[in-house]
């Protein structure tokens, strides 16, 4: 028998120096006597695991509804990557009381001195996702600062669905600001572009505004259709231009063909992602399949349920059939052009491998 959830809370309280509160919580949750509860806390304080055969009560699922606000924050901070969904539900029910603490966790970030096994590495993730679900406006400037940090890509991935879905148009000013970043670290601008697409697909009324913001970042062309830009700008901005052109395809906007074609002709777009100019134009054909399925939405409770089940080994990957293998050698030709023949797989779509799980929780991690 395993007691992960109670252990999480007790260790969190111990880390904060609240041993007496930890003993009280053990008694409250388990119904044990004082001695048994103190023994349990002492064993965990020593760094050992409590022997399952020493107790008989089944406390594998904790009643988080009886936790105080401070206890919920402590449990969340030390919950690790996959907290029990009941903890998330309890936090969702305490929006007003928990918001200041969640903002502090998101602002604080992580400590590089923590060992890899420290569960607090995920505290900022849980705080950020809950603040998204609360649509907390005070969190938007915090997100902007955190997303601008170097090496923020791993953190950003946790919020790339939740932030645009829950905030919707409220997030546009912050995302446009990220899009306008001029420094060498272009990743925040790329993520901002992706989130803006997500918002437009769920809020079509803002498409004109978002398209205008994206168009500002494409270079101008001369009368002959040649790009007007310096070589340094070309090298720096090609990744962002690729993302913007991809956004045009997703949003079915083809009102800037002259500049887009000039970018293709100059060889500064990533054709592995976009295909060539012909593939780009084919995406706007009346019978072209949609490149992005806007029908799926993000749900924080569903996300945590799947994450918890995966951590507990309750989700099995059972492919329905073998996947085709790519050829060992490319076709013999002087020029290889990638042409997209199938729509993009959304992160919330069923995985093409046939596992029955969402793509973002399955083969996307292998891509």
184-188, 226-230, 347-351, 362-366: range with lowest mean pLDDT = 362-366
In which band, very low, low, confident or very high, does the pLDDT at 345 lie, cut at 50, 70 and 90?
low
Could you tell me if 195 and 175 are in contact, meaning their C-beta atoms sit under 8 angstroms apart? yes
Mean pLDDT across the stretch 148-162? 83
Taking each helix axis from N to C end, the angle separating 19-30 and 34-45, rounded to the nearest 10 degrees, works out to 130
pLDDT at 349 over 70: no
Could you tell me if 37 and 3 are in contact, meaning their C-beta atoms sit under 8 angstroms apart? no
The residue among 83 and 32 whose pLDDT is bigger is 83
Report pLDDT for 322: 47
8-12, 346-350, 354-358: range with lowest mean pLDDT = 354-358
| Angstrom distance (rounded) from CA 339 to CA 66 | 56
Cα-Cα-Cα-Cα dihedral sign, residues 243, 248, 249, 254: negative
pLDDT single digits (tens) 236-274: 578 889 999 999 999 999 988 889 999 999 888 988 889
**Nearest to 22, CA basis, from 7, 32, 35, 33:** 7
Mean pLDDT across the stretch 10-28? 82
pLDDT at 129 over 50: yes
Mean pLDDT across the stretch 58-70? 73
| Angstrom distance (rounded) from CA 310 to CA 35 | 36
pLDDT at 88 over 90: yes
Report pLDDT for 199: 95
Most confident of the following: 30-39, 107-116, 290-299: 107-116
Most confident of the following: 49-53, 185-189, 285-289, 320-324: 285-289
Helices (H) and strands (E) in the chain, counts: 18, 0
Report pLDDT for 356: 52
HEC secondary structure over 264-332: HHCCCCCHHHHCCHHHHHHCCCCCCCCCCCCCCCCCHHHHHHHHHHHHCCCCCCCCCCCCCCCCCCCCC
The residue among 184 and 311 whose pLDDT is bigger is 311
In which band, very low, low, confident or very high, does the pLDDT at 57 lie, cut at 50, 70 and 90?
very low
Q: What is the mean pLDDT of the chain?
A: 80
What's the burial of 19, exposed, middle or buried (CB within 10 Å: 0-12/13-18/19+)? middle
pLDDT at 288 over 60: yes
In which band, very low, low, confident or very high, does the pLDDT at 318 lie, cut at 50, 70 and 90?
very low
């Amino acid at each position: 028998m395993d007691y992960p959830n109670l252990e999480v809370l007790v260790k969190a309280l111990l880390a904060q120096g609240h041993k007496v509160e930890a003993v009280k919580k053990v008694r409250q949750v388990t119904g044990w006597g004082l001695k048994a509860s103190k023994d349990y806390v002492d064993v965990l304080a020593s760094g050992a695991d409590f022997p399952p055969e020493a107790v008989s009560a089944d406390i594998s699922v904790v009643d988080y509804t009886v936790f105080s606000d401070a206890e919920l924050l402590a449990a969340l901070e030390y919950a690790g990557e996959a907290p029990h969904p009941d903890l998330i539900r309890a936090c969702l029910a305490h929006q007003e009381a928990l918001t200041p603490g969640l903002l502090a966790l998101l602002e604080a970030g992580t400590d590089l001195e923590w060992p890899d096994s420290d569960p607090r590495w995920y505290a900022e993730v849980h705080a950020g996702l809950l603040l998204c679900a609360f649509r907390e406006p005070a969190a938007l400037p915090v997100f902007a600062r955190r997303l601008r940090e170097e090496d923020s890509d791993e953190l950003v991935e946790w919020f790339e669905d939740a932030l645009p879905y829950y905030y919707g148009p409220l997030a546009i000013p912050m995302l446009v600001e990220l899009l306008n970043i001029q420094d060498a670290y272009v990743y925040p601008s790329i993520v901002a572009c992706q989130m803006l697409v997500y918002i437009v697909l769920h809020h079509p009324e803002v498409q004109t505004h978002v398209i205008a913001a994206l168009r500002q970042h494409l270079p101008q062309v001369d009368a002959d259709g040649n790009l007007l830009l310096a070589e340094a700008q070309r090298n720096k901005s090609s990744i962002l231009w690729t993302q913007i052109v991809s956004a045009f395809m997703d949003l079915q906007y083809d009102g800037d063909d002259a500049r887009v074609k000039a970018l293709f002709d100059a060889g500064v777009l990533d054709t592995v992602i976009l295909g060539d100019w012909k593939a780009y134009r084919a995406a706007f054909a009346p019978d072209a399949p949609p490149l992005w399925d806007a029908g799926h939405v993000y749900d924080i409770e569903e996300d945590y349920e799947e994450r918890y089940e995966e951590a507990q080994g309750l989700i099995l990957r059972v492919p329905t059939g073998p996947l085709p293998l790519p050829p060992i050698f490319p076709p013999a030709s002087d020029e290889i052009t990638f042409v997209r023949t199938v729509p993009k797989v959304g992160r919330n779509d069923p995985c093409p491998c046939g596992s029955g799980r969402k793509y973002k929780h399955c083969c996307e991690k292998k891509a």
